[in-house]
Amino acid sequence: MSAAAGDRPDVPLLELRGIGKDFGSVIALDDISTTVRAGQVTCVLGDNGAGKSTLIKVLSGVHRPTRGELLLDGQPVNFGAPREALDAGIATVFQDLAMIPLLAIWRNFFLGSEPTTGWGPFRRFDSAQAKEITRRELGAMGIDIRDPDQPVGTLSGGERQSVAIARAVHFGARVLILDEPTSALGVKQAGVVLRYIAQARDRGLGVVFITHNPHHAHPVGDRFLLLNRGRSMGDFAKGELSREELTAMMAGGDELTELAEELERPTGR
Amino acid sequence: MSTTQEASAGRRARADERVAAVGLWRRLLVKPELGSLIGAVVILAFFSLQSDVFRSLGGVANWLDVASTLGIMAVAVALLMIGGHFDLSAGVMTGTTALTVGIVAVRLDQNIWVAIAAALVLALAVGFLNGWLVTRTGLPSFIITLGTFLMLQGLNLGLTKLFTGTVIVRGIADAPGYHSAELLLASTISVFGQPFRVAIVWWLLATAVASWVLLKTRFGNWVFATGGDEVASRNVGVPAQRTTIVLFMTTAGAAWLVGSISAVRLTSVQANAGTGQELIYIVAAVIGGCLLTGGFGSAIGAALGALVFGMTQQGIVYLNWDADWFYFFLGAMLLLAVLTNRLVRRYAEAARR
Ligand SMILES: Nc1ncnc2c1ncn2[C@@H]1O[C@H](COP(=O)(O)OP(=O)(O)OP(=O)(O)O)[C@@H](O)[C@H]1O
Ligand SMILES: [Mg+2]
């Protein structure tokens, strides 16, 4: 399906070369390399605390990498702030969603990228347009908001996550990063998100998708970066890895076999 | 497929009906100025019934005057509080700017407008320093501005003594340009034959501008967001540090306006002017619906909070009550406001957690 885009010999949209990040004496990431190509989905997989969120925070300009290089269109870049990554067309759904609970949905949706109308000192936030787009984009996700003026804090966890995803999809011009976007979603909404990822890929965006669920990752992923305790356990193309292998590697292969044996052992005497 | 869609649409419609019943409540509750509006109406009614001086035009002019300079500061302090910070140096800053106007005009023999401009530059510089230190260090603004507050208090006394040999600057009325400054900052406007202080106009103007900026501009959105969750706002591209610094400079700018008004109006300035007022500004902003934790509040609410303050202060005088009652009333109102605000926050933020 996306093989045509994948075969293009052009430079990757984003490339990571030996990225490392320390927090004081904690080495959160070390020597991570992978690529994000236009029209492809790169999945990042790993246990809790493996460094997935830290990695995407490096890509989205929240953290500066301690070591290594980040290349955008083959040019080294150094994002000093999330704003710079956003301006480069990289939009992110953070694991904590980055939403302001007391702020209305439409204000959250356009936070940091507000459309304006009017002239000179009378330039103002175009609230009519903002509300309209918010309603439309959320409607497209199957979320029917009753009132865009509702504070985000009063939404359910899944609704909040949907707003964050709709926002990133709306603003992500070149790269879309999603950090466990389906963790709070029902089966239907999770399906919508996976379809969104496929759509974004087909529009030619590069997608970075973080998940714990191999059944979500395998069908949409073109590349799989496996992390364990801050280090790369491998960076595989889709053909190199079956769903079973992926599942086994995510659960830490031997551990899974051991667990299966343990569970199969008769417990009663 | 279509049946499931219909079923889910039906479920949604039912959910909507349930929400519609509390819709009005929510809409009212999320208006931060509601509490202060009710408070202002109650206090207005109470004192008007008790005292005819209070409800006479002269009385109105009096309590509006008290509310005006306080209100200018309360509105700026409210913006800062919504942005998630406090400025304890705001009170003494009105003294610093007033003294600067006096010393530059009288001791350095400058035109009063030069003196006022010098005070503005000084105020903005201190505001910038406050904001820069807060954003740079990440320390609570409470402690940073407590530091600048004490430093300014010392400077006010020390420099006034150095320049005048006393603790008061006099003779501002003799400075060149005084009459134009008086016209703009300290004149009166006659309404139905009753002179009203021009500061009231400045207060209304400050409230209108602040309210417009807060609710209608990008910057306003950034103020709410920075106060609500600074890290999250930065992550979606809000220039949170710049927003904070501009807010501190706005508070200092408001202190400059109030300081200039009082210097021109009184024509002399005490070295301890303004000290202690900072808490009153915060009280007015809280009565106006600002949350102490930031991210929620209103400029109109703060202006109403100042009005409540002005009415209570003058009303107690007109009723010949002991002035001590004033603080009792104020404390009671503050408690009431904080309790109401807490409910609002619970409702808006924690309802679905
Ligand atoms: N700001 C920070 N300061 C210190 N240590 C940090 C910081 N951020 C992350 N870490 C550490 O880095 C490691 C990786 O964290 P990270 O959030 O990237 O994990 P993750 O793979 O996203 O986990 P999860 O699946 O639970 O979301 C953790 O051990 C964490 O404690
Ligand atoms: Mg994570």
**What tens digit of pLDDT does each residue of A184-226 get?**
788 887 888 888 888 888 888 999 999 888 888 888 999 999 8
Beta-bridge partners for A236: A224
CB B130 within 8 A of CB B156: no
Report the distance separating Cα A59 and Cα B43, nearest Å: 56
Q: Percent of chain B, pLDDT > 90?
A: 76
Ligand 1 atom closest to A51 (CA): 18
Q: H or E element: which one contains B261?
A: helix B240-266
Closest protein CA for atom 5 of ligand 1: A23
CB contact under 8 A, B352 and A110: no
Of A200, A204, A224, give the one whose Cα is nearest residue A213. Answer: A224
* pLDDT score, position B29: 62
Report the distance separating Cα B314 and Cα B332, nearest Å: 17
CB contact under 8 A, B295 and A103: yes
Strands (E), chain B: 168-169, 188-191, 194-197, 269-270
Per-residue pLDDT at B353 exceeds 60? no
CB B78 within 8 A of CB B298: yes
Closest ligand to A95 CA?
2
Per-residue pLDDT at B345 exceeds 70? no
Which has more pLDDT, A2 or A120? Answer: A120
Q: Give distance in angstroms: CA of A262 to centre of ligand 2.
A: 29
The interface residues of chain A toward chain B in range 25-84, judged by CB-CB distance below 8 A, are: 60, 62, 81-83
Query: What residues flank ligand 1, with Cβ below 6 Å?
Result: A 23, 26, 28, 46, 48-54, 95
Per-residue pLDDT at A5 exceeds 50? no
Mean pLDDT over A241-255 rounds to: 70
* pLDDT score, position A1: 38
Nearest chain B Cα distance for residue A207, angstroms: 18
CATH number assigned to the domain comprising residue A136: 3.40.50.300
* pLDDT score, position A48: 87
* pLDDT score, position A253: 53
Closest ligand to A23 CA?
1
Mean pLDDT over B157-166 rounds to: 94
Closest residue, chain A, to B349 (C-alpha): A153
Which residue in B212, B238, B347 is closest to A111 by CB distance?
A: B238
pLDDT band at A27 (very low <50, low <70, confident <90, very high): very high
Name the residue of A26, A43, A56, A95 whose CB sits within 8 Å of the most ligand 1 atoms, as the mutation to test its pocket. Answer: A26
CB A13 within 8 A of CB A37: yes
Could you list the residue range(s) of the whole structural domain that residue A35 is in?
A: 3-267
Residue B1 contacts A, CB cutoff 8 Å: no
Mean pLDDT over B87-102 rounds to: 97
* pLDDT score, position B172: 94
Question: Which residue pairs from A212-215 have beta carbons closer than 8 angstroms and sit at least 24 positions apart in sequence?
Answer: A212/A45, A212/A180, A212/A183, A212/A250, A213/A182, A214/A45, A214/A243, A214/A246, A214/A247, A214/A250, A215/A243
* pLDDT score, position B26: 60
CB contact under 8 A, B228 and A102: yes
Closest residue, chain A, to B26 (C-alpha): A150
Which has more pLDDT, A180 or B72? Answer: B72
Per-residue pLDDT at B30 exceeds 80? no
Residue A151 contacts B, CB cutoff 8 Å: yes
Model ipTM value:
0.85
Mean pLDDT over B277-301 rounds to: 92
Closest residue, chain B, to A88 (C-alpha): B237
Tell me the whole-structure pTM to 2 decimals.
Answer: 0.89
Q: Give distance in angstroms: CA of A210 to centre of ligand 2.
A: 8
Please state whether beta strands A175-179 and A90-93 pair in parallel, antiparallel, or not at all (unpaired): parallel
Per-residue pLDDT at B86 exceeds 50? yes
Q: Which residues of A touch B292 (CB under 8 A)?
A: none
Closest protein CA for atom 8 of ligand 1: A54
The interface residues of chain B toward chain A in range 283-302, judged by CB-CB distance below 8 A, are: 295-296
pLDDT band at A47 (very low <50, low <70, confident <90, very high): confident
Site from B12, B29, B236 to mutate, A interface, most A CB atoms within 10 angstroms: B236
Nearest chain A Cα distance for residue B233, angstroms: 7
Which residue in A96, A102, A123 is closest to B295 by CB distance?
A: A102
pLDDT band at B331 (very low <50, low <70, confident <90, very high): confident
Positive/negative CA dihedral, A167, A217, A27, A13? negative
Closest protein CA for atom 2 of ligand 1: A23
Q: For A51-87, how does the pLDDT look when each residue is reduced to its tens digit (9 = 90+)?
A: 999 999 999 999 999 999 999 999 999 999 999 999 9
* pLDDT score, position A193: 84
Per-residue pLDDT at A228 exceeds 80? yes
Report the distance separating Cα B145 and Cα B81, nearest Å: 13
CB contact under 8 A, A82 and B235: yes
- Write out the CATH class of domain B33-343: mainly alpha
Closest protein CA for atom 3 of ligand 1: A23
DSSP helix/strand/coil, A233: strand
As given in the structure block, the two tokens for residue B299 are 């400029």
Task: Compute CA distances B46 → B38, B52, B306, B312, B331, whole Å.
Answer: 12, 11, 17, 10, 18
DSSP3 helix / strand / coil % (chain A, rounded to 5): 40, 25, 35
* pLDDT score, position A259: 67
Residue A115 contacts B, CB cutoff 8 Å: no
Name the residue of A21, A52, A54 whose CB sits within 8 Å of the most ligand 1 atoms, as the mutation to test its pocket. Answer: A54
pLDDT band at B348 (very low <50, low <70, confident <90, very high): low
CB contact under 8 A, B352 and A103: no
Q: Tokens 């069908």, residue? A: A219
Per-residue pLDDT at A166 exceeds 70? yes
* pLDDT score, position B252: 98
* pLDDT score, position B180: 95
CB B268 within 8 A of CB B105: no
**How many independent structural domains does chain A possess?**
1
Q: Which residues of A touch B30 (CB under 8 A)?
A: 151
Per-residue pLDDT at B350 exceeds 70? no
Average pLDDT value over all residues in chain A: 86
